[in-house]
Structure 1
């Protein structure tokens, strides 16, 4: 418990300046789009590795002993993490820095923030996005376990050749013991498919943002992604292929928005400097990190709250129709509402493509 608390503390102290780096490495908004895209391709690859390969790695590294496997795998992750944090430290350079005569108090910075409409819009958007991700992400396993038909899941896995792949791995690696229930296997593939197509979507993010502007691309991609989420309400219990297609499409369109969120926050820092002649990158990003954590906390609490409200009982093999209905709502209608509310927040985000160019040119002239 103590080491976990210390880990979270140090991670937060590291993650804030790391997230803010894109705002000070370059003042070119197009380059920021590129930086953010590369960053989140790497994030998705890491997430895919953890969600899709962690259990096989644990079984392989532990020679069948899960406790030893987790110890060895996490040791490898820790060493790799430290090495790459050091690489980041030694190879990045801050080029956008406050002028030497800039002096501002915390009270002035906070005052600037609450008069900054794009910042307020981005804060609300960040909270709503991460409430949505935590809610539907936490509920998907219940959707698979309690709504989708297990026989249909098993047939789908057989048609994909997933069962044959697992049998091959069991033969090839001593101690490899993948769970045999189709729900676990299908859910793992479901997550992996979404992540892979998020990476594809991230690849489209920069060219679209460069052409149409970050705000407009974000809104359109988020709305289409929302429709894919809403579709989960309508799927029959045995239409497994359609469920996976919806997840893939959702992953693709949501992936387009992922790097834009953080690039837009960096643009808000530029907007603040443009309006107030004071740069406040750190406090702007720290507020967004707060919004992110708040969103995840609220969304996580909603998972437990919704399950309790609809009478979920973990002792029951088959849940009541009311409980199953609540689970369906929580992976479709409820997250659609928060996603759409997030898109509505961007009506108050006035930094469109035209203003991006205006801010960038004005700040460039001012800094020179």
Structure 2
């Protein structure tokens, strides 16, 4: 049933642009963390890469509780005059932005090692496990309430990816140009500049969140879940949902590949190639490819061939690109940028349609269980994405430690050569594993999704 159907405007461009700004706001802090936090704490704060990576993985145990708890809170909350999900965006935009800014306080670089680790742990947990969760779960769940039409939801997924890509463009292109400086002939990260950048991005995040709140409208009534919480039943439902398990596996592996690419770019470009400008160019080219190729064609291609089918083939293509790059070992940084961009197109198609695939999973669960649990299912998926973020950061940090990377060996040819190898191997393995997960675990083919949509329409008297 549509909520306030007589007073809420029809679904349109304002909703798509507003939803885009929501992920734009999310990624002003998320991409900054995934791309530069490890670099900031190793090079500026002097903390070992393994320690930072361990924190990012350990924090996910906290998320296992906070994500699902927030999902339950959202599912059990009653709609207000602003809707069921929108109010959370307005409530939590300030705290998440402030917590992100506090992570990058370079003035503490001279403090004791123990204090710096303590500061990193507290601010990272506040940002990622508490405040980011409390805004991202309602935001992601809100797509089901904006419209019940599958085409509208696919468009929201595309526009959400556009928002993420624009944030990646601003952060990935702009940050390397500003944050790095040349010291004794080496390209190094400036701590004071990173603090300023983090503050500016936090302000931008708040602005984007408020634009999302004001432009988006909820039209579909999602009543509060009044059933008594049965943790055993909930866990059984989650772990027997093959579609959810499949998309979780694929999401973790996708982020391992994508964030591994972004995380290693902070080392392969300035340390192996000696070019922060090439790092900026890679982010720019990848973002433009997403906007010009992936976003316009993903919905059309997935409608023709199926979301699962498109994602599987495109990820295999991305993996193959990095295998060729590893074999050729280009000496020119801009040839590497070209390989980076082609691989980014491969993962970009899946990253563009994955949000619509989550809605397919929610529909599939409703058909099987008879209950609409947007918040709970999305929270489990959100937790999986954080696992992917943590694993990529932990993997990158652990590998850097294993190959002997420290501020003192950062430009040692033996170390930088291994950095190049890992910059190709991590995404190649990740993307190939994504394709396998989609092919053998995720069951929602094009025919199955269409059958589910028709069945839900029948149950709701829409068809």
Q: When the two structures are superposed, what TM-score results if normalisation uses the length of structure 2?
A: 0.64
In the alignment, which residue of structure 2 is the partner of 1:231? 324
Tell me which of 266, 272, 275 is aligned to 1:147: 272
**1:135 paired to 2:228:** no
Contact 1:222/1:254 (8 A) holds in 2: yes
Contact 1:135/1:303 (8 A) holds in 2: yes
> In the TM superposition, what whole-angstrom CA distance separates every residue of 1:36-72 from its partner, at most 9, and x where no partner exists?
001111221122122223577899xxxxx95896487
Contact 2:246/2:437 (8 A) holds in 1: yes
> In the TM superposition, what whole-angstrom CA distance separates every residue of 1:121-144 from its partner, at most 9, and x where no partner exists?
111111111122232322123222
In the alignment, which residue of structure 1 is the partner of 2:200? 73
Flag the 1:87–1:147 CA change in 2: closer, same or farther, 3 A.
same
Tell me which of 348, 363, 380 is aligned to 1:287: 380
Tell me which of 405, 408, 416 is aligned to 1:312: 405
Contact 2:176/2:276 (8 A) holds in 1: no
Corresponding residue SS for 1:278 = coil
Distance in 2 between residues matched to 1:220 and 1:32, nearest whole Å: 23
Distance in 2 between residues matched to 1:218 and 1:305, nearest whole Å: 29
Distance in 2 between residues matched to 1:195 and 1:143, nearest whole Å: 19
In the alignment, which residue of structure 2 is the partner of 1:248? 341
**1:194 paired to 2:283:** no
**1:13 paired to 2:106:** no
Shift of 1:267: 0.7
Shift of 1:6: 4.5
**1:84 paired to 2:176:** no
**Which stretch has the larger CA shift, 209-218 or 335-344?**
335-344
Distance in 2 between residues matched to 1:143 and 1:24, nearest whole Å: 43
Tell me which of 165, 169, 189 is aligned to 1:48: 169
Distance in 1 between residues matched to 2:408 and 2:137, nearest whole Å: 41
Distance in 2 between residues matched to 1:309 and 1:4, nearest whole Å: 24
Distance in 2 between residues matched to 1:292 and 1:219, nearest whole Å: 18
Flag the 1:103–1:271 CA change in 2: closer, same or farther, 3 A.
farther
Corresponding residue SS for 1:234 = helix
Corresponding residue SS for 1:93 = coil
**1:25 paired to 2:146:** yes
In the alignment, which residue of structure 2 is the partner of 1:170? none
Distance in 1 between residues matched to 2:145 and 2:194, nearest whole Å: 42
Contact 2:177/2:280 (8 A) holds in 1: no
Contact 1:129/1:295 (8 A) holds in 2: yes
Count of residues paired in the alignment: 327
Contact 2:246/2:443 (8 A) holds in 1: no
In the alignment, which residue of structure 2 is the partner of 1:111? 236
Flag the 1:76–1:113 CA change in 2: closer, same or farther, 3 A.
closer
Distance in 2 between residues matched to 1:286 and 1:68, nearest whole Å: 30
Corresponding residue SS for 1:314 = coil
Shift of 1:186: 1.5
Distance in 1 between residues matched to 2:194 and 2:229, nearest whole Å: 52
Tell me which of 196, 217, 220 is aligned to 2:310: 217
Contact 2:143/2:156 (8 A) holds in 1: yes
Tell me which of 269, 277, 297 is aligned to 2:370: 277
In the alignment, which residue of structure 2 is the partner of 1:338? 430
Contact 2:278/2:334 (8 A) holds in 1: no
Shift of 1:240: 3.3
Distance in 2 between residues matched to 1:3 and 1:319, nearest whole Å: 32
> In the TM superposition, what whole-angstrom CA distance separates every residue of 1:2-46 from its partner, at most 9, and x where no partner exists?
777544422210101111222333333332211100111122112
Contact 2:244/2:361 (8 A) holds in 1: yes
Q: When the two structures are superposed, what TM-score results if normalisation uses the length of structure 1?
A: 0.79
Flag the 1:52–1:302 CA change in 2: closer, same or farther, 3 A.
same
Kindly name which structure, 1 or 2, has the bigger radius of gyration based on alpha carbons: 1
Contact 1:22/1:263 (8 A) holds in 2: no
Q: Which runs of 5+ in 2 are unaligned?
A: 1-101, 103-121, 181-191
